[in-house]
């Protein structure tokens, strides 16, 4: 039985997967190859780059016009700026991949083996090997180099320059076409050279690039097509609502699409006569978030990088961020953490939107006392006023101490209340979050039994903050069909706690709103 892939490249014999043509513009890429172009394919991690290009290289070899080779050079990352060591590791990878994919290329295999045995590495060893490869191949070579941007410093610079130096001699004495595969477009690389003691731009080190292609996430139709494969094989159906919700949660991010379905079909609902519903997808989402699988861990690790932190901090804070450099925004987008459109900058999908504040607020959450049952009324409903009063006391006692040591200073107030609420609501409800750069507010919706509780978070700026907050809270209450609404205003100005802290009610339109000053 096939299953949904959530680790490593997709294997068409083992995994459900979309047809190659539905994810890759083969005609476009074949035109680039025919025209002897060097090009880039980039996309965030776990979007299917490796799987697609391995299968495409295999298809090219079956068609017989080119000798296609896929190579992953990630092993050379450990060499960092020791480019001789890095080139040696890359040559080892080339020998291994050629032996596996193109065993008929015996002369090239023998040449690499000899170089490795003699340890005769130079700054042009990769270039020399590719020339031998091209001269001995009976067909023009199409070369796919994956994880190119995992290379560091002078190793990366050396590889790019060696590829560039052989470019004029293609196809007789060098690969006809080369595709570099990574997270980012090569023109965005900023590479520090220990040898030259300066930053080398990727665009200058590899100025032979003709085109940069970006691999897109799944469309809603493609998610449906992928899930339908499971139905056709096992008979287990997905409701339309479940498929639409899976797309809504993931925005088509391929790893998340597969991971949700695997959790739903192979761990939660293994009885094939039972339909996968929206509720099952919701449970799968919560499990993925709490478990934080490898893919999510890698993303979370990026949150420590200053250039990423500046962007994410501003988004969670939901304020404008003039300190955000355009290159930092592009970098964070290329990592797959954010999406940029004409209206705003926001976290890439609702699952990431839940994960990021949970992770960042972990240390706050661990230090909090109290149990969910402390805030449950006799009728089983959530006593949100008691909860927010307890949070007010907690924030007053702890926030100043914590913020001194916390990297995400701008969004600190939001993260503390998110951690506080998450810990309590985990006992029997859900928190839905909505935030994006420039919105000037964070929308929270707590679902608890029959309750739908809106909480708006705002930072106090001036006298208009309260009026804006009331208007935004009332509007969100209306659109979310809320049973009650609360507006929390954090005042970061230099005032005493007696001046900052207050609680009152206001009526805005027909909505009664509880206001909490902090």
pLDDT tens-digit series, residues 36-61: 999 999 988 888 889 899 999 999 99
Given a cut of 90, whether residue 253 has pLDDT beyond it is yes
From the list 319, 338, 330, 263, the residue with the least C-alpha distance to 293 is 263
Q: Which has the higher per-residue pLDDT, 31 or 398?
A: 31
216 and 251 Cβ atoms separated by less than 8 Å: no
Task: Tell me which of 243, 272, 291 is where a domain ends.
Answer: 291
Residues 388, 259: one domain?
no
**126 in a structural domain:** yes
Sheet of strand 38-42: strand arrangement: 67-72, 141-146, 177-182, 38-42, 209-214
- Sign of the CA dihedral running 284, 286, 292, 296: positive
Buried b (16+ CB within 10 A) or exposed e, 450-471: eebbbbbbbbbeeeebbebbbe
Task: Tell me which of 268, 291, 314 is where a domain ends.
Answer: 291
Tokens of 64: 């017989």
pLDDT at 245: 96
**234 in a structural domain:** yes
pLDDT at 115: 94
Number of domains in the chain: 3
Task: Tell me which of 177, 198, 214 is where a domain ends.
Answer: 214
pLDDT at 153: 86
* Residue 233, domain CATH: 1.10.8
**398 in a structural domain:** yes
Compute φ and ψ for 43, nearest 5 degrees.
-175, 160
Given a cut of 70, whether residue 395 has pLDDT beyond it is yes
**411 in a structural domain:** yes
Residues 70, 209: one domain?
yes
Residues 506, 364: one domain?
yes
Residues 162, 253: one domain?
no
pLDDT at 189: 75
Residues 156, 196: one domain?
yes
pLDDT at 323: 59
**14 in a structural domain:** no
Tokens of 474: 């009332």
Q: pLDDT tens digit string along 192-201?
A: 677 777 777 7
Given a cut of 90, whether residue 438 has pLDDT beyond it is no
What's the N-to-C CA distance of the chain in angstroms? 56
SS (H, E, C) 79-134: HCCCHHHHHHHHHHHHHHHHHHHCCCCHHHHHHHHHHHHHCCCCCCHHHHHHHHHH
195 and 154 Cβ atoms separated by less than 8 Å: yes
Residues 209, 236: one domain?
no
Q: Which range has the worst mean pLDDT, 195-204, 224-233, 388-397? A: 195-204
Pairing of strands 430-434, 442-448: antiparallel
pLDDT at 452: 93
260 and 246 Cβ atoms separated by less than 8 Å: yes
- Sign of the CA dihedral running 464, 468, 471, 477: negative
Indicate the average pLDDT of the chain.
88
Given a cut of 70, whether residue 35 has pLDDT beyond it is yes
Q: Which range has the worst mean pLDDT, 218-227, 286-295, 351-360, 486-495? A: 286-295
For the segment 494-504, the average pLDDT, to the nearest whole number, is 91
Given a cut of 90, whether residue 461 has pLDDT beyond it is no
pLDDT at 321: 55
CA gap 228, 48 in Å, rounded: 19
Compute φ and ψ for 211, nearest 5 degrees.
-150, 150
Residues 184, 276: one domain?
no
For the segment 274-298, the average pLDDT, to the nearest whole number, is 85
Range of the domain at 226: 220-291
Q: Which has the higher per-residue pLDDT, 213 or 277?
A: 277
pLDDT at 319: 67
Residues 360, 434: one domain?
yes
Given a cut of 70, whether residue 314 has pLDDT beyond it is yes
**296 in a structural domain:** no
Q: Which range has the worst mean pLDDT, 388-402, 425-439, 499-513? A: 425-439
Tokens of 176: 């006809």
**300 in a structural domain:** no
Q: What are the percentages of helix, strand and coil residues in the chain, rounded to 5? A: 50, 20, 30
CA gap 463, 381 in Å, rounded: 35
**305 in a structural domain:** no
Binned at pLDDT 50, 70 and 90, residue 206 comes out as: confident
Note the pTM of the prediction, 2 decimals: 0.84
Sheet of strand 484-490: strand arrangement: 430-434, 442-448, 451-459, 484-490, 511-517, 502-508
Residues 262, 397: one domain?
no
pLDDT at 295: 67
pLDDT at 294: 58
Residues 110, 156: one domain?
yes
My answer on whether omega of the bond before 171 falls inside 30° of 0, hence cis, is yes
pLDDT at 320: 61
Residues 168, 228: one domain?
no
Q: Which has the higher per-residue pLDDT, 319 or 224?
A: 224
For the segment 370-388, the average pLDDT, to the nearest whole number, is 86
Q: Which residues contact 312 (CB under 8 A, 6 or more apart)?
A: 303, 332, 337, 338, 347, 356, 408, 411
Residues 172, 82: one domain?
yes
* Residue 128, domain CATH: 3.40.50.300
128 and 166 Cβ atoms separated by less than 8 Å: no
Q: pLDDT tens digit string along 69-121?
A: 999 999 999 888 889 999 999 999 999 999 999 999 999 999 999 999 998 88
């Amino acid at each position: 039985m096939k299953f949904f892939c959530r680790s490593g490249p997709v294997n068409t014999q083992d995994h459900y997967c979309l047809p190659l043509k539905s994810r890759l513009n083969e005609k476009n890429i074949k035109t680039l190859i025919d025209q002897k172009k060097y090009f880039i394919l980039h996309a965030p991690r776990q979007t299917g780059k490796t799987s697609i290009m391995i299968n495409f290289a295999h298809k090219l070899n079956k068609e017989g016009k080119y000798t296609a080779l896929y190579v992953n050079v990630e092993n050379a990352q450990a060499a960092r700026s020791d480019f001789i060591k890095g080139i040696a590791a890359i040559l080892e990878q080339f020998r291994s991949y050629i032996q596996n994919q193109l065993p008929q290329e015996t002369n090239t295999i023998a040449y690499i083996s000899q170089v490795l045995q003699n340890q005769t590495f130079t700054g042009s060893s990769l270039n020399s090997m590719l020339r031998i490869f091209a001269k001995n191949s009976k067909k023009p070579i199409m070369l796919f180099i994956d994880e190119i941007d995992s290379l560091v410093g002078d190793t990366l610079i050396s590889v790019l320059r060696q590829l560039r130096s052989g470019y004029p001699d293609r196809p007789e004495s060098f690969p006809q076409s080369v595709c570099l595969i990574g997270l980012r477009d090569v023109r965005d690389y900023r590479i520090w050279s220990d040898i030259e003691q300066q930053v080398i731009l990727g665009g200058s080190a590899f100025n032979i690039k003709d085109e940069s292609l970006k691999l897109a996430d799944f469309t809603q139709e493609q998610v449906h097509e992928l899930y339908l494969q499971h139905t056709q094989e096992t008979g287990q159906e997905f409701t339309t609502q479940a498929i639409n919700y899976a797309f809504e949660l993931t925005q088509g991010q391929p790893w998340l699409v597969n991971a949700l379905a695997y959790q739903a079909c192979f761990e939660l609902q293994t009885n094939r006569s039972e339909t996968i519903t929206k509720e099952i997808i919701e449970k799968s989402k919560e499990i993925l978030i709490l478990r934080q699988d490898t893919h999510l861990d890698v993303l979370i690790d990026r949150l420590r990088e200053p250039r990423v932190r500046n962007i994410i901090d501003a988004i969670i804070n939901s304020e404008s961020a003039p300190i955000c450099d355009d290159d930092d925004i592009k970098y964070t987008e290329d990592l797959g953490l954010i999406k940029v459109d004409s209206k705003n900058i926001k976290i890439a999908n609702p699952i990431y939107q839940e994960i990021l504040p949970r992770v960042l607020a972990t240390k706050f959450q661990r230090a909090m006392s109290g149990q969910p049952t402390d805030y449950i009324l006799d009728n089983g409903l959530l006593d949100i006023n008691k909860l927010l009063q307890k949070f007010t006391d907690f924030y007053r006692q702890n926030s100043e101490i914590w913020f001194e040591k916390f990297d995400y200073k701008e969004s600190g107030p939001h993260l503390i209340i998110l951690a506080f609420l998450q810990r309590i609501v985990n006992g029997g409800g859900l928190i839905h979050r909505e935030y994006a750069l420039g919105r000037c507010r964070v929308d929270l919706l707590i679902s608890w039994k029959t309750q739908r509780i809106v909480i708006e978070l705002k930072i106090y700026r001036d006298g208009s903050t309260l009026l804006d907050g009331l208007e935004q809270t009332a509007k969100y209450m209306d659109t979310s069909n809320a049973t009650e609404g609360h507006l929390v205003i954090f005042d970061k100005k230099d005032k005493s706690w007696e001046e900052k802290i207050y609680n009152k009610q206001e009526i805005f339109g027909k909505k009664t709103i509880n206001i909490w000053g902090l």
